[in-house]
Amino acid sequence: MQTNATYTSLVAVGDSFTEGMSDLLPDGSYRGWADLLAARMAARTPGFRYANLAIRGKLIGQIVAEQVDVAAAMQPDVITLVGGLNDTLRPQCDMGRVRGLLEEAVERLAPACKQLVLMRSPGRQGPVLERFRPRMEELFTCVDDLASRHGALVVDLYGAPSLGDPRMWDVDRLHLTGEGHRRVAEAVWQTLGYEAQDTEWRTPMPPSAPPGWVARRTADARFARQYLLPWIGRRLTGRSSGDGRPAKRPELLPYEGPGA
């Protein structure tokens, strides 16, 4: 890995994780790790350009069909690709197809940029992670293999103890908090060869007293009502939370936005 890196442009490809949910800004929009990373890179490089094509709910097939060629055509210095995790959470998931589509994406993106960045996505500790862990780890094995074959960097968020802490995750239990996104931005920043701003991003938060039984049941009921049941409803009707939603930053333009 190089040090004192200088990149002039970044394109982010993916789903809700890269869109920035649930790092909510006062105006109701989402920031997220990719925006934070772009802000840091822009502070070092005048005229730095940034695009974020990620849209919540997208499966790897949709990412390949809708985002990959667009990102490749932009010819940026850096492309980040995170996808496939939504597929692993579906009851019916063809992992062979997921691996094939991810390979197709990497083969098209790697030659189109100076540096492709892949990730082993974080997982929230709990029963959901345990249920889908085998699929996730199969996906991450594929990520590692593709990176070694195509010269991509891999950011290992899955292996970071800090990001498994439920306190790093929003009440929907699917998306990181602002602090979680900050740590992801730091991880990618360091992986790209920039000097660390937080050497302890992997370090777990200090322990705290666990919530009581009533508080846990109340949180479970709220989660089921506000998030789980609507998610099931979308699955049953073939809908997605990203249907009809445009990319947050569809053009590769000079970065303007919230600072790091």
Half-sphere CA count of 97, side-chain side, radius 13 A: 10
Q: Is residue 67 within 8 Å of 53, Cβ to Cβ? A: yes
Mean pLDDT, contiguous 10-residue spans, the chain (260 residues): 77 97 90 97 96 97 98 98 94 95 98 98 84 94 98 97 94 90 98 97 82 61 56 56 82 81
Q: How far apart are CA 131 and CA 124, in angstroms?
A: 12
- What pLDDT does residue 1 have? 47
Cβ partners under 8 Å of residue 215, min gap 6 = none
The size of the chain, in residues, is 260
pLDDT of residue 130: 86
Half-sphere exposure of 171 (CA within 13 A, CB side): 13
Could you give the CA distance from residue 18 to residue 56 in angstroms, rounded to a whole number?
8
The 10s digit of each residue's pLDDT in 156-169 is 999 999 999 999 99
Dist. CA 13–CA 134, nearest whole Å: 24
- Check: pTM over 0.75? Answer yes or no: yes
Place of tokens 């094995």: 141
What Cα–Cα distance (Å) separates residue 243 from each residue in 72, 122, 240, 260? Answer: 23, 25, 5, 30
- CB-based contacts of 180, cutoff 8 Å, min separation 6: 122, 163, 168, 169
| pLDDT at res. 42 | 97
The order of strands in the sheet holding 49-52 is: 153-156, 115-120, 78-82, 9-14, 49-52, 249-254
Give the pLDDT confidence score for residue 223 in this predicted structure. 54
Q: Give dist(CA 260, CA 257) in Å, integer.
A: 9
Task: Check residue 198 and give its pLDDT.
Answer: 97
